[in-house]
Homo-oligomer: A and B are copies of this chain.
């Protein structure tokens, strides 16, 4: 039994930089034909020169794979319209982080005050640049995304022509927002379709499943599954694959992030197959994203086969999700 995916896209991807980039970029570039590259490297990507240089480093890291990195800028409220006009030639989106909310987000916005953000968001709206948002407050860890909901609502209603992507949503409340505001979209990760806080901290503590936003309750996971499996037209796959070296995951103060790039398609096919929703996976991993982003992806065929895939313990010093476990599907070949 095989299943072919055409031009799969990862609409939320961390490729990091330097040695880590060289380890992880070929893995994403093997499975996917492109993806939205997150700009929270060190230092964050805030200039056109940095965008171009980072894209070149990515292209040289991916080897012979067909892969198009869709670049983003790290959102700053002091960008000028002139700068954004030029940037629009090089990036699809800007990623907004509330300051300090996740890995390498220290330079993020200090306040979500709409009036402070307005000049940049007006310009983005006019230029067709997409706003990607890490939507968490600094409240209690289980409430952060829900608390951010009112900010999503005020962004969506204040900038009705701006496309806003709620990144890596994890709650049923975020899912509900999709149908309430025309200009709100979402990415959903593989791991948030699979796990809850019980998997992270209900038995033994599992640092490799620790991520931000943290996995929530069963009813939240079910809401995410529901819209993903039915290929909701505003929902895109974004792995949020976030590699950290093992010594930053198995330690006494462990970094947040699940590394899923090399196993994402295999696990997605298994999940959608299990729910008799394989027919909707193409939309979830590619078509919907192309529509939302107004983007035509290069052609690539990823043929998956129902053959056991034993996931390796690590890629370099990065431990993937399902390390040492066996998935039901593997990638047979890529055309």
Of A167-175, A235-243, A246-254, A277-285, the one contacting chain B is A246-254
Question: What number of copies of this chain does the assembly contain?
Answer: 2
Q: Choose one: B201, B250, B252, B254; the contact of A141 (CB below 8 Å).
A: B201
**Contact mask A188-218 → B, CB, 8 Å, 1/0?**
0000000011101110111110100010011
* In the bound complex, CA of A217 to CA of B15 (Å): 34
B residues in contact with A201, CB < 8 Å: 141, 200-201, 210, 214
Q: Choose one: B142, B196, B198, B204; the contact of A253 (CB below 8 Å).
A: B204
B residues in contact with A218, CB < 8 Å: 140
Say whether A206 contacts B252, CB under 8 Å.
yes
Chain B residue with the shortest CB-CB distance to A254: B205
Nearest CB of B to A212, in Å? 9
Does any Cβ of B come within 8 Å of A256's Cβ? Answer: yes
- Dominant SS among interface residues on chain A: loop
**Contact mask A288-302 → B, CB, 8 Å, 1/0?**
000000000000000
* In the bound complex, CA of A170 to CA of B210 (Å): 22
Q: Sample 30 A-B pairs with CB under 8 A, ordered by A number.
A: A140-B197, A140-B198, A140-B202, A140-B218, A141-B197, A141-B198, A142-B142, A142-B197, A142-B217, A200-B201, A201-B201, A201-B210, A201-B214, A204-B253, A204-B254, A204-B255, A204-B256, A205-B207, A205-B210, A205-B253, A205-B254, A205-B255, A205-B256, A206-B253, A206-B254, A207-B207, A207-B254, A208-B252, A250-B252, A252-B319
